[in-house]
Structure 1
Amino acid sequence: MQPLRLLILPLLFFAGLLVAQKGSREPYERIIRTFVHLPINDSAALPKIRVLIALAKKEKNAAELTKAYHDALHYTPSENLKLRYADSAITAAHLSCQEDLIATAHLGKGIVYYFNFKRYRNALQEYLIAMGYAEKTKDHYLIHKIGYHLGVVKSYLGDHCNAIRHFETGAAYFLAEMQKNPHPNLLHNMRKGYYNSIRQMVICHQHLNQDEKADSLISIGEKGVPEHRDFKLLRSYFHQFRGISEFRKGNYEHSIEELDKALPEIERNRDFAWASVIYFYLGKNRLQLGQREKAMPLFKKVDSVYLRQHFMFPELCENYKILVQDARHRKLMNEALYYSDVHRKLENQISADVIYLSSVLDAEGFKYEKQRLTESKRMITVWSVLGMTMLALFFLRYYYLQKETEKRFRVMVAPSGFSDGTSGSGTQRRAGKFTLPQEVYDKMREKLQHFEDMEYYLEADLTEKTVADRLWTNTQYLSAYINISKGVNFRTYLNELRIRYIARQLSENPEFLKYSNDGLASKCGIGSRSNFSRQFSKIYGMPPQRYIKKCIQANREREEGR
């Protein structure tokens, strides 16, 4: 009887949950109305939320308990308590067996990791779990919201082009929903989603030095973000972006004015990472205005935030270069050594994050662009069956024609029957499964040599098809030649050309030593900082920044030798 009793107890518990969840929401709504008007992080809401939690526990209402813990997370000013409430929300959500609540709870924990702690690794894990549950629901808002946060991770990795696609897709969805004249609460959420997506696009475009696009989006934010208190932080971010934009244009006084407008609200919300960005640009403005004494304390403030929070955006590595140069200028070698050491630790931390986060995203094979947003399951009708049949016949015909074409191609590029992968007669070249007639091989060698000599490989977004078209050949010949002559596939061949070009420039051209990883990736046509760092480490066995340090050291030794 004991095993049977153990089996029945959980069933009774879940039955109790289901019955409770069918009850009225009115008691919960009454309590929520007592604190919903309070701003985020206002602890005055917490006593009322504890009543909400107690009621949900008493009624064994897992869904309401999940929402109550989420409210507690929203209103507590304590970062550690936010994390604890996030864990409690996840536990309650899983008891509710509602996939949308489970997804929301994991997303909430990810946001705490990202916003309050800047732990991108932990945040990414939670986002991916959340998306796994959200994709099983029909909640498009939730799916786009999670997609937005995945875009933020890609932006941090330096993959700004792919990140922009996330934000553009989300912005289009949120804007379309805004225009449907929804309920005020829903409209509020859609506006937040839309303007936050615009905000993230500004960040990406500024990193890509696409200032006109960034300025256009900043104007959208400045004109459109509501004056409501819930949007005060968002308005501050747009003041910050305007300040960065004005700095780039050389309007230093105006830049300081905009950054000063942004700082108070960002500091009030304890967003230390973006506060550091503001300190950094305020310092750079002061330097440009010749106010060095006012500038250096601002750069040191960035350092103090990093030492306290152990996080900094990659673009702020320049902060330590400025501090090192200043210390050397004042002949304070111990101070220079200290800042240099912190700079090295920061770069190592960023490199480790980039490698880890990239590997997780690659392993998940996450393709947000191909998101499955099916509106409803349609019944299969006779017409759809007929349509599928016609489509199948079409593809069978297409498949047959493709096979015939492939047979003709095999006459020229046939699998080698020799055990020696690289040898052949005087009229053919072979490697593995690839064979090319000698005449075709020689022509391809000339064409690809010209491609390398002209450094066409530095262009962005090259594909096997675009290169084949440029060389007046086809992808089969191009692929076969690269495999025979280089022993690698097209993508590996292209990456090696690009990375070796950068390594050569770093050794020979001092100007390249000043570039960030973003800049180096852009110079050689690689689309993201993370991919550039990964490929560089793969070929040279070290991150780009360590290679740069070796080049700088070699230059010094050469100078001293003279």
Structure 2
Amino acid sequence: MFKINTLIFTLFALFCCNHILSQNVISDYTQNSDYTELSQDFLINKKDPERAKIIAKNFLNKAKEENDIIKISDGLYMLAEISDKDIAVKYLDSIIKLTVNANDFTYPGKAYLLKATILGSQGRFNESMDELIKVNSLAIASNNVEQQFKTKYYIALLKNELGDFEESRKILETVVSFNKMKFNEDKHYEYDYILSLYAYGNSLNLNDDFDLAYQVNKDAIKLSLKSKDSILYERLLLTSSISEYYREKYDSSLDSINKLLKISNYSNLSTGTKIRIDLHLGKIFNKKKNYDKCIGYLKKSDSLAFKEDYFFPGIRESYELLIDNFKKKGNKDEQLFYINRLLYVDSILDKNYRYLSKQINNEYSKKNLILEKEEIIDSLKKNNKSQFILLTILFVISATLIVLLIYNNKKKKIYKQRFLNLIEENQEEQIPSEKTISDNNDASNSSNSVELGISEIIINDILKNLEKFEEDRDFLKPNITVSSLSKDFNTNSKYLSKVINSYKHKTFSNYVNELRIRYIIEELKKNKRIRQYTIKAIANEIGFNTSEAFSKSFYKTSGIHPSFFLKELKKQNEKSNMPVESN
């Protein structure tokens, strides 16, 4: 008994001694370590949250003792990096408040950037974009190029979430180029370079450029394996698997997923990654005609999505496959269950993703899920009162959807015809020749001069100036007003306005805007380079100050929106470039 008590006492003494020594070490850490040493130790111990937290707090205490605002911010940033998301945001808000007037090269931009990343990971995309806008403004003001490109990276990721895949790809191309340049100069930029390649590969998948995506992923994986960074390697395996799937290399796609699951703990993966893995496995086994495995993985994906309330546009495919598989099996109960699930998911996506209504154009939308649901319910012969009420509601909804579909199809046909009319028109048909204008002017000037209260000489002079204005394409200049143009014509604005109203049969602004629109329509038809521009860039090119004003004028003049016109031009161009098969 004495020996046992002695052993217990000895162990207790050792524990107390060790605790005291560890406290002294921690205390000495602050006094005897400089900021560089603490920062390096933090990075080394980042995967050990408890140890990293001690180092970060020591860093912070040291900074507080020295009253160094920027170092205090560094300490808070360290804590934010290793804390739960909600707590991390509080640390970042403290940094922003502390440094908002500090005129620092790095802060508060760095804090805004991490906050935007956290908000984006929580699906709070609008809030995330607000933070990124703040970072961008600060980075430009301080000429912090690295911060500008980090901001571009996260904006590109948000654009992917919102469905703007092409724009995201363009942004990521510039980010990859910048990070490659930095990596070639300094190997410490390796992580940023690999991360940008991963994002770029994912963007290429979303843009259906699967061969290039595969090559980009392959290059990134080589770098990742050299750097021994398992986190990026896992992400790259998933992106690579998706590329292989769409290249119809299903075994290779499955192999990449299996590698991912082999090197990582499934339970430690993020919710989004788990759902995407199960969805992707379901798609692979569907292609391999192993329908039971397909259904099993898709059910897992659905269950986790509803449990965690985590939905994204790509998850629709999971429900489409489940509905299709149970339809083949003749299992109407399950079919109906997943139709209901898909209708709910669509309602969430419609609320969170504005672009979705434009993007969804698949088999289930065309067949009208509501009508299919009605048929299944009817075939199950549920004739109770509540069923009758439900069917009535469904009928009303279905009828409304049918009317909307008919209206949209009719609208599309009208837009298509208007587009074809614009393609067939020539510039000469739009802008009358100088001779025609002169002939018309001579015939009507005498009578109009009396009506307008302007001498015939002044009218002729204004009309000749307008001819030159059109020929020289001066209407492309920005900020043209009736006042500025009348000064150029050496006349007064009232005379100019009256002549344009009488002879062009338009207001001054409509006259200038229509000239611009007619001009750009012809340019877009023949100039491939301009077709690559954004709507905003095209607007600026022809004198409009905003893309909204340009779009409004384009629609008023042509009867279609510029985005529709560009999309149809692209389709037409792709058709004309298709190789002709020989018999």
TM-score range, shorter chain: 0.5 to 0.7
Contact 2:197 2:216 in 1 (8 A): yes
Q: 1:280 to 1:54 in 2, by over 3 A?
A: same
What is the CA distance between 1:296 and its match in structure 2? 1.6
- The C-alpha deviation readout for 1:114-138, integer Å capped at 9, x for no partner, is 23x2322221111111111111224
Larger relative contact order, structure 1 or 2 (CA cutoff 8 Å, min sep 6): 1
Structure-2 residue corresponding to 1:393: none
What is the CA distance between 1:226 and its match in structure 2? 4.7
What is the CA distance between 1:218 and its match in structure 2? 1.6
Contact 2:316 2:342 in 1 (8 A): no
Match of 1:60 among 64, 67, 73: 67
Which amino acid letter does the alignment assign opposite residue 339 of structure 1?
Answer: R
Q: 1:48 to 1:26 in 2, by over 3 A?
A: closer
- The C-alpha deviation readout for 1:371-398, integer Å capped at 9, x for no partner, is xxxxxxxxxxxxxxxxxxxxxxxxxxxx
- The C-alpha deviation readout for 1:12-39, integer Å capped at 9, x for no partner, is xxxxxxxxxxx99953334334432124
* 2:134 maps to 1:129: yes
Cα distance between partner residues in 2 of 1:195 and 1:405:
59
- Determine helix, strand or coil for the equivalent of 2:498: coil
Which amino acid letter does the alignment assign opposite residue 252 of structure 1?
Answer: Y
Aligned pairs (5 A) from 1:464-483: none
Structure-2 residue corresponding to 1:433: 508
Over the matched positions of the two proteins, sequence identity in percent amounts to: 15
Structure-2 residue corresponding to 1:245: 243
* 2:55 maps to 1:48: yes
The answer for unaligned runs of 5 or more in structure 2 is 1-29, 358-463, 476-494, 534-541, 544-549, 575-583
Structure-2 residue corresponding to 1:164: 169
Structure-1 residue corresponding to 2:79: 72
Cα RMSD between the aligned structures? Answer: 4.4
Structure-2 residue corresponding to 1:332: 333
Contact 1:280 1:302 in 2 (8 A): yes
Contact 1:40 1:74 in 2 (8 A): no
Cα distance between partner residues in 1 of 2:61 and 2:297:
47
Match of 1:28 among 35, 42, 59: 35
- The C-alpha deviation readout for 1:172-203, integer Å capped at 9, x for no partner, is 222222222x3xxxx32x22222222222212
Cα distance between partner residues in 1 of 2:235 and 2:148:
24
TM-score calculated relative to the size of structure 2: 0.58
Contact 2:211 2:247 in 1 (8 A): no
Q: 1:327 to 1:82 in 2, by over 3 A?
A: farther
Contact 1:121 1:353 in 2 (8 A): no
Aligned pairs (5 A) from 1:44-443: 44-76=51-83, 78-94=84-100, 96-115=102-121, 117-180=122-185, 182=186, 187-188=187-188, 190-229=189-228, 231-263=229-261, 265=264, 267=266, 270-328=269-327, 329-332=330-333, 335-352=337-354, 408-410=468-470, 417=498, 430-433=505-508
Cα distance between partner residues in 2 of 1:36 and 1:352:
40
Cα distance between partner residues in 1 of 2:529 and 2:271:
35
- The C-alpha deviation readout for 1:399-450, integer Å capped at 9, x for no partner, is xxxxx9976145899967379x6xx7xxx763333899xxxx9xx9xxx9xx
Larger radius of gyration: 2
Q: 1:310 to 1:277 in 2, by over 3 A?
A: same
Contact 2:554 2:562 in 1 (8 A): no
What is the CA distance between 1:59 and its match in structure 2? 3.0
Contact 2:305 2:311 in 1 (8 A): yes
Cα distance between partner residues in 1 of 2:529 and 2:304:
36
Cα distance between partner residues in 2 of 1:250 and 1:274:
22
Structure-1 residue corresponding to 2:399: none
Cα distance between partner residues in 2 of 1:98 and 1:490:
50
Contact 1:415 1:435 in 2 (8 A): no
- Determine helix, strand or coil for the equivalent of 2:505: strand
Q: How many residues align?
A: 395
Q: 1:344 to 1:70 in 2, by over 3 A?
A: same
